Amino acid sequence: CLRIRRCGTALEAMNKKQQQQKIKIKIKKCSLEVRYNEPGFLFDMRLPWSGDGDVRVGFFSSPDGKQWTKVSLIVDSEPDVPSEAELQFFGDTAVSLVRLDNGTSLLSEGHTAVCVASPPYATWDCGRRFDKRLDGPKWFQHAGRQFVMARKHLDDGRKRTALYEIVGTLPDPSAAVSLRELFEFQSAGDTAYVGVLPIGGDQFLVSWYSSVVAKDEQWFSGMFDQSDIWTAWVDLRCLP
């Protein structure tokens, strides 16, 4: 129920066996099929990280998409190093997922704040947090369920791109919420910044970037290496 295809041409060739590799993963009674094909486009230059300095994430409104006015601050905390955020509305209740680089180092796991606000969105309740730092995320809804695709952090400094389901009642700041990992996409080194496009029914086209998978290098060295853009066709109909 899940297929992955890399699109475009690459500077590094893969042999025929690698191109046609298939992996089957069992989720209860449902089989997810993954197909890896041609390598994707490559970027030959990456910029190194030189210090975040991220302090706050704001909520803005606009009548025309051109002129924006700050309504409030979602997270204002220099020690938490807030940055990349996602936003969804449940009726008139706004919920934001905010990346927090508040681990012991940039390479370590941090958290993701789950923030909730009601009209007029002047204040946000960010009392709930996931114990995973979702980098470069894309949050999307399907069939009443919540999914997020983002960078996953391994204990040894390596990274992956993964698909999670958000479990729990997000608009209620008193309700427990958690992440359930569904799938780890083929990825390594510096990876994520996800795109998700619904293409009908239970199907989605997703994209992410990754360092050369075969090297399986750590994130820091991967920033200075080549990157591929991957695309995948995802069918969620078999999820329990």
Give the pLDDT confidence of 146-162 residue by residue, as tens digits. 999 999 999 888 999 99
Torsion of CA 199, 201, 203, 205, to 10 degrees: 10
Tokens 């960010």 locate to 126
Q: Checking phi first, is residue 193 left (phi over 0); if not, alpha (psi -120 to 50) or beta?
A: left
Query: Given a cut of 70, is residue 2 above it in pLDDT?
Result: no
Q: What is the pLDDT of residues 167-198, one digit of tens each?
A: 999 999 999 999 999 999 999 999 999 999 99
* C-alpha angle 27-31-34 in degrees, rounded to nearest 5: 110
**pLDDT at residue number 53:** 66
Peptide bond into 120 cis (omega under 30): yes
Mean pLDDT for 42-64 is 62
**pLDDT at residue number 19:** 38
The pLDDT-based confidence of 9 (bands split at 50, 70, 90) is very low
| Percentage above 90 pLDDT, the chain | 55
Rounded distance between C-alpha atoms, residue 116 and residue 93, angstroms: 7
CB 119 within 8 A of CB 171: no
Q: What is the pLDDT of residues 69-112, one digit of tens each?
A: 999 999 999 889 899 999 999 999 999 999 998 877 666 788 99
In the chain, % helix, strand, coil (3-state, to 5) comes to: 5, 50, 40
Which amino acid, one-letter code, is at 52?
Answer: D
